[in-house]
Structure 1
């Protein structure tokens, strides 16, 4: 399995947030399975691009590739409209591949490309349920607002812990989003983004084990999902 444990929460949050609007549909189950298989397929594919050693990850590519196709095919057959998202996913995957090729897979823009793919998954949830994607636009924006913030915040805790610039970027971003939520979002969402701003200010630069950082961000993702559900 990919060692990037936080990616699973990033993948699931937009999906589950969209479900709070559309309600469950039988096709959501294979869609979720395809997404859960597609992420490690993408991860090991990018590892092959990065290292040039396809043989090392070939079993992973075959196994996860077959699982993704098997689970995704019923969704595509039943809802061919979901193919409209394919060009966007391909373009974002190309961004990831470009950064992997240059061995810059930790770059901020590369992370944003992955976040955008997770957000698109929320729109696919709506299309699969035959609900207009505009119906889930609000909860998707909330989920993306959190995910972009967590990318910046985690960098201030680990890779860019000593960077004053990254701290100010994180604080400014979280402050702007918190103000926007206070002005336009429902009260539960506004409260959660105020909490996220506080955690960004209080924890930036502290020496905290990566696992604890991940646990905190998982708890924050659950708070965002609860606020959306309310």
Structure 2
């Protein structure tokens, strides 16, 4: 029954939630965040179905989720933008990134690195919306959290590829390790010391996991733990 309705990309759920939490707790949780997250979730589900339709042309499979999620998204989005007009300037930022996703979906190349990076930036933009909704006023802080989200999930893109599609690609392995090493060095300069330990753990992950012959289930369970580590570390550093 869920075929066509629910995304199979499990890692996307972390990207949906974690940047939202960054922005919400860096400002102040308010009841409007529930409406924002509902709209954010519906937008993700709608876009997923739309991109799958673009990729496959199977309107019989994806037509119903498009209608369902579109019908729920329109009033939710309209209510949100009416209640919080400060969110309007963020809307155009999603358009070029969405067009990149459409381009790669149409060519059945959704696993392209550029497409993944466009998705990472797109998901991370919710930091600004959640921060604005919570009455945040330090936009340097919001930008720092947005950048951290992009940097973290970009590293996850490289890492996941070394575990699956580029599993036997030695060059890609070293690109992933080099990226995580550079991320740790950058964080030592630009971010609070409290983020260095979790980023060091991610560096160890990038070095060790592709060599450890983990099963897909083991890798997925560990990734949940890594996501929790990063989320809790950021919230402790910025929201407490």
Q: Would you call these one fold, judging by a TM-score over 0.5?
A: yes
Verify the 8 A CA contact 1:150 1:217 in the aligned structure 2.
no
Verify the 8 A CA contact 1:17 1:139 in the aligned structure 2.
yes
Equivalent runs, 1:82-121 vs 2, <5 Å: 82-121=87-126
Verify the 8 A CA contact 1:82 1:124 in the aligned structure 2.
yes
Segments of structure 2 that go 5 or more residues without pairing to the other structure are 1-5
* Distance (whole Å) between structure 1 residues aligned to residue 188 and residue 141 of structure 2: 21
* Distance (whole Å) between structure 1 residues aligned to residue 54 and residue 217 of structure 2: 27
Moved more, 77-86 or 205-214: 205-214
Verify the 8 A CA contact 1:20 1:229 in the aligned structure 2.
yes
Equivalent runs, 1:186-225 vs 2, <5 Å: 186-225=192-231
* Distance (whole Å) between structure 2 residues aligned to residue 205 and residue 45 of structure 1: 37
Q: How far has the Cα of 1:31 moved from its partner? A: 0.6
Q: Helix, strand or coil: the match of 2:125? A: helix
Q: How far has the Cα of 1:26 moved from its partner? A: 1.5
Equivalent runs, 1:35-114 vs 2, <5 Å: 35-114=40-119
Moved more, 13-22 or 91-100: 13-22
* Distance (whole Å) between structure 1 residues aligned to residue 190 and residue 61 of structure 2: 49
Verify the 8 A CA contact 1:119 1:143 in the aligned structure 2.
yes
Task: Deviation per CA, 1:133-164: give whole Å up to 9, x if none.
Answer: 43322222222221110011000001110111
Segments of structure 1 that go 5 or more residues without pairing to the other structure are none
2:7 counterpart residue number: 2
Q: How far has the Cα of 1:206 moved from its partner? A: 4.3
Equivalent runs, 1:133-172 vs 2, <5 Å: 133-172=139-178
2:27 counterpart residue number: 22
* Distance (whole Å) between structure 2 residues aligned to residue 73 and residue 210 of structure 1: 40
Moved more, 213-222 or 39-48: 213-222
1:127 counterpart residue number: 132
Verify the 8 A CA contact 1:192 1:227 in the aligned structure 2.
yes
Q: How far has the Cα of 1:205 moved from its partner? A: 4.7
Verify the 8 A CA contact 1:75 1:128 in the aligned structure 2.
no
Q: How far has the Cα of 1:67 moved from its partner? A: 2.0
Q: Helix, strand or coil: the match of 1:4? A: coil
Q: Helix, strand or coil: the match of 1:3? A: coil
* Distance (whole Å) between structure 1 residues aligned to residue 229 and residue 110 of structure 2: 28
Q: How far has the Cα of 1:62 moved from its partner? A: 1.0
Aligned residues between the structures: 230
